[in-house]
Amino acid sequence: MESMPNTRSVLRVGFVTLTIGLVLIGFLGAVLRPEENMPFEKLYGDWPTVFMATGIFLFFVFFLTRPRRPKDWRSAGLTTAFFISLFTEMFGVPFTIYILAPLLGVEPRIFGMYESHLWAYFLSRTGIMTLQAGVYLVMVVSTGLISSGFILLALGWKQVYRGDGELVTGGLYSKLRHPQYLGLILIIVGFLIMWPTLLTVLLAPFLIGRYIFLAIEEDRELEEKFGENFRRYKEAVPRFIPSLTYRA
């Protein structure tokens, strides 16, 4: 990403990264409680948690991406819709479960915390693995993706912040050109695995496509600004798949 103005201390990056880690640990610990499969009545209707989780995650995403242009704000709007719909169904009203339960021939109230991890529920329903094993599998994969996404966001933010308007090609940017967009994509995919809902499944392709479009647009803008330097960098470093050979 193109660098942002140097208006705050770079030391805050460490604080932000640590805070993200603590929030993720606390949030994921609340979602997965191995000793208790929280029943339907206790899991849903928790609106304070809906507002808190939505606010926290949107704060970090907006803080680390800093939308500035109209097209950035359009993507931010889709991101906001995704997280609002996700946490509304995760802790508030499970619209997807109300729709799917009759189709599956079960009552919505059988979907406690474990069953509401729909991928785990479907794995157990097909007999591939137990429900609890499915929940652990879903949580390990989704937590890894979400954590990796936030790490990419934070590290990418740190480098463009310190770049102060110059072309950033070292560190993480020597491996891929758009770590922050890749981080956002990993976060979206991670949440789709953790807690899929009909609306987030519909929104995700548009959101991911939007990030890819913004990365392409940003390449064009950087090529106009930095000319041959960026063209050489672009030829050597892939957009999203990390390179193991380039050195700045």
Count: domains in the chain: 1
Question: CB 130: neighbour CB atoms within 10 A?
Answer: 13
- Is residue 247 assigned to a domain? no
CA distance 235 to 229: 10
Q: How much is the CA Rg of the chain, to the nearest whole Å?
A: 20
**pTM here?**
0.84
- Is residue 85 assigned to a domain? yes
Tokens linked to 165: 């308007």
Query: Is residue 17 within 8 Å of residue 151, measured between CB atoms?
Result: yes
Q: Give counts: helices (H), strands (E), the chain.
A: 10, 0
Q: What is the CATH number of the domain that holds 120?
A: 1.20.120
Query: Is residue 189 within 8 Å of residue 141, measured between CB atoms?
Result: no
- Is residue 7 assigned to a domain? no
Question: pLDDT tens string for the chain (248 positions)?
Answer: 433 334 444 445 444 554 555 555 455 555 545 456 889 998 899 999 899 889 888 887 787 777 777 777 878 888 999 999 999 999 999 999 999 999 999 999 999 999 999 999 999 999 999 999 999 999 999 999 998 998 898 888 888 877 777 888 888 898 999 999 999 999 999 999 999 999 999 999 999 999 999 999 999 999 999 999 999 999 999 998 886 666 55
Q: Which domain holds residue 221?
A: 12-236
pLDDT value at residue 112? 92
- Is residue 80 assigned to a domain? yes
CA distance 205 to 146: 17
- Is residue 203 assigned to a domain? yes
Reference 49, options 83, 85, 90; nearest CA is 90
Give me the torsion for CA of 141, 144, 150, 154, rounded to 10°: -160
Length of the chain: 248
CA distance 184 to 145: 10
- Is residue 245 assigned to a domain? no
Reference 218, options 63, 71, 82, 11; nearest CA is 71
- Is residue 242 assigned to a domain? no
pLDDT value at residue 5? 38
Angle at 126 between CA 137 and CA 115, to 5 degrees: 55
- Is residue 20 assigned to a domain? yes
Query: Is residue 134 within 8 Å of residue 121, measured between CB atoms?
Result: yes
